[in-house]
């Protein structure tokens, strides 16, 4: 299979930089896959699961929001944070999920920033758990 | 005149000071390495971001989003001011504070209302006592900034801009140019002036992208991020600059200590020699007197 180059860049580091066969990413209006010779493409990325396959091995990443640029067989994914599935601490994610759902249950209806933050935290924790379980 | 003992005590004190400044110099050096590597690893993200935003903005009308539109009557401005949490770094904080104060005085003279958000203890302590409305102040953030905190800062700026509480937002931080040079720099945060895609080639490239969702929606999504990227950049640059400034200041201090020790040692030796000579004279004088008797 012909390869394309994938780069996952966060403000802290370059998470992934390698040649892969296929990339599947969570776009703003739905998941999209990229193979070689893809058209030039720019999409928002929403928190979710990013996966790519290289040499018949599929890797999973949990990503937060950002955007993706595809041009000339290079996929650049810029997100606030990304984590490889095998590096996710499931226990921590579970604790974060419990904390967030407790907070949500306590002051439901109070549409303030804390509420929104708890909601975002809950989503993030659930996503991380989901992604982490892929490699188990 | 200082006695031998006095000089000796002084030498001891200067030596201790030198030990401290040397230690601080080394601590700053190692922190600088950390900060610098963080700054460098942010670089690919930032440059890619600016490139994409420039491509995107070049093909789009400027009035699709309030963040892009200049307000006609600007009467309230806000300055996001960065300074260090600690002193002993030469003129680093003084420069940043003096620049900001001058800038604000000029604006106030033109009848603008200025408010401030500060990052860093030194700036907060200084401007707290001045006639400036302090909206928020953050301390002890350097070294462990994370993007989610910066995102909350960004959204609070945007919310206040949208609610017409502030008309323009600026940011002042110390840009890291080299180990020996750091410069207070002023950047306009809101309204956003999108980076323009440089040459004609970039523009034609922007045209044949597919967008998901449409280019305008995507741009709107990226605008707040653009502010966060700039603020994070300021954080990292300012932190690196502070460590570089402290390293230089402490290096100078250590050198001055060495010079001081040298001259004090010279004075000590002279005084010691003088004392010995005086004693010898006494003995010789005494012996001569006995011989005569």
Q: Which residue of B has its CA nearest to A81?
A: B147
Q: Residue written as tokens 């993200």?
A: B45
Task: Name the stretches of chain A with pLDDT < 70.
Answer: 107-114, 136
Handedness of CA B6, B10, B16, B19 (dihedral sign): negative
* Pairwise CB contact (< 8 Å): A28 & B151: no
Q: In this predicted structure, what is the pLDDT of residue A113?
A: 61
* Pairwise CB contact (< 8 Å): A41 & B225: no
B215-292 and B4-58 helices cross at what angle (nearest 10)? 170
> In chain B, what residues touch A8 (CB-CB under 8 Å)?
none
Burial of A64 from C-beta contacts in 10 A (0-12 / 13-18 / 19+) = buried
Q: In this predicted structure, what is the pLDDT of residue B200?
A: 42
Task: Name the stretches of chain B with pLDDT < 50.
Answer: 199-206
The shortest C-alpha distance from B55 to chain A (Å) reads: 10
CATH topology of domain A89-132: 1.20.5
Identify residues of B whose CB sits under 8 angstroms from chain A CBs. 38, 41-42, 44-46, 48-49, 52, 55-56, 147-148, 151-152, 205, 208-213, 215, 217-218, 221-222, 225, 229, 232
Q: DSSP H helical segments within B62-162, as ranges?
A: 92-109, 121-128, 147-162
Task: Indicate if ipTM > 0.90.
Answer: no
> In chain B, what residues touch A27 (CB-CB under 8 Å)?
212
Residue boundaries of the structural domains of chain A: 4-85, 89-132
Q: Which residue of A has its CA nearest to B224?
A: A66
Chain B interface, best mutation among A7, A34, A42, A116, by max B CB count within 10 A: A42
Q: In this predicted structure, what is the pLDDT of residue B199?
A: 44
Q: Residue written as tokens 């250590």?
A: B254
> In chain B, what residues touch A68 (CB-CB under 8 Å)?
none
* Pairwise CB contact (< 8 Å): A80 & B151: yes
Q: Which residue of B has its CA nearest to A45?
A: B212
Q: For B208, which of A9, A40, A80 is closest by C-beta distance?
A: A40
Q: In this predicted structure, what is the pLDDT of residue B203?
A: 47
Query: How far is residue B194's CA from residue B217's CA, in Å, rounded to a whole number?
Result: 15
Burial of B5 from C-beta contacts in 10 A (0-12 / 13-18 / 19+) = exposed
Q: Residue written as tokens 């700036």?
A: B123
Q: For A9, which of B48, B148, B222 is closest by C-beta distance?
A: B48
Q: In this predicted structure, what is the pLDDT of residue B58?
A: 73
How many Cα atoms within 13 Å fall on the side-chain side of residue B15?
9
Query: How far is residue B97's CA from residue B60's CA, in Å, rounded to a whole number?
Result: 38
Residues whose CB is less than 8 angstroms from the CB of residue B212 and which lie 6 or more positions away in sequence, other chains included: A27, A28, A29, A32, A41, A42, A43, A44, B218
* Pairwise CB contact (< 8 Å): A78 & B49: yes
Q: In this predicted structure, what is the pLDDT of residue B204?
A: 46
- H-run or E-run covering B188: strand B181-190
| Coil vs helix vs strand at B260 | helix
* Pairwise CB contact (< 8 Å): B218 & A42: yes
**If we measure between CA atoms, which residue out of A28, A44, A47, A31 comes closest to residue A122?**
A47
CATH topology of domain A4-85: ATP Synthase; domain 1 (2.60.15)
Residues whose CB is less than 8 angstroms from the CB of residue B260 and which lie 6 or more positions away in sequence, other chains included: B14
């Amino acid at each position: 299979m012909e390869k394309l180059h994938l780069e996952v860049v966060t403000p802290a580091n370059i998470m992934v930089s390698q040649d892969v066969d296929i990339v599947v990413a969570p776009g703003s209006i739905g998941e999209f896959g990229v193979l070689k010779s893809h058209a030039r493409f720019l999409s928002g990325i929403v928190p979710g699961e990013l996966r790519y396959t290289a040499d018949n091995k599929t890797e999973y990443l949990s990503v937060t929001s950002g955007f993706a640029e595809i041009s000339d067989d290079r996929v650049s994914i810029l997100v606030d944070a990304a984590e490889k599935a095998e590096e996710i601490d499931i226990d921590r994610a579970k604790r974060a999920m419990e904390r967030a759902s407790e907070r949500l249950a306590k002051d439901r209806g109070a549409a303030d920033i804390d509420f929104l933050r708890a909601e975002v935290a809950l989503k993030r924790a659930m996503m991380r758990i989901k992604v982490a379980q892929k490699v188990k | 005149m200082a006695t031998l003992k006095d000089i000796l005590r002084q030498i001891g004190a200067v030596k201790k000071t030198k030990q401290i400044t040397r230690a601080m110099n080394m601590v700053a050096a190692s922190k600088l390495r950390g900060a610098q590597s963080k700054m460098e690893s942010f670089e690919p993200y930032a440059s890619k971001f600016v490139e994409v935003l420039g491509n995107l903005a070049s093909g789009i009308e400027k009035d699709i989003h309030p963040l892009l539109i200049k307000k006609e009557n600007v009467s309230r401005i806000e300055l996001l001011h960065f300074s260090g949490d600690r002193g002993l770094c030469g003129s680093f904080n003084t420069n940043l504070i003096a620049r900001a104060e001058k800038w604000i005085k000029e604006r106030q003279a033109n009848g603008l209302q200025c408010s401030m958000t500060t990052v860093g203890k030194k700036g907060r302590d200084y401007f707290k006592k001045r006639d400036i409305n302090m909206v928020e102040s953050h301390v002890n953030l350097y070294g462990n900034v994370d993007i989610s905190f910066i995102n909350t800062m960004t959204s609070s700026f945007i919310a206040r801009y949208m609610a017409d509480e502030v008309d323009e937002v600026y940011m002042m931080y110390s840009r890291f140019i080299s180990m020996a040079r750091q410069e207070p720099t002023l950047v306009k945060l809101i309204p956003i002036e999108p980076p323009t895609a440089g040459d004609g080639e970039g523009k034609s490239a922007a045209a044949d992208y597919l967008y998901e969702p449409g280019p305008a929606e995507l741009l709107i999504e990226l605008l707040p991020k653009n502010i966060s990227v700039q603020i994070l950049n300021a954080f990292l640059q300012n932190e690196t600059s502070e460590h570089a400034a402290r390293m230089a200041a402490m290096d100078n201090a250590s050198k001055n200590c060495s010079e001081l020790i040298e001259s004090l040692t010279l004075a000590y030796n002279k005084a010691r020699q003088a004392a010995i000579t005086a004693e010898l004279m006494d003995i010789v004088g005494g012996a001569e007197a006995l011989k005569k008797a």
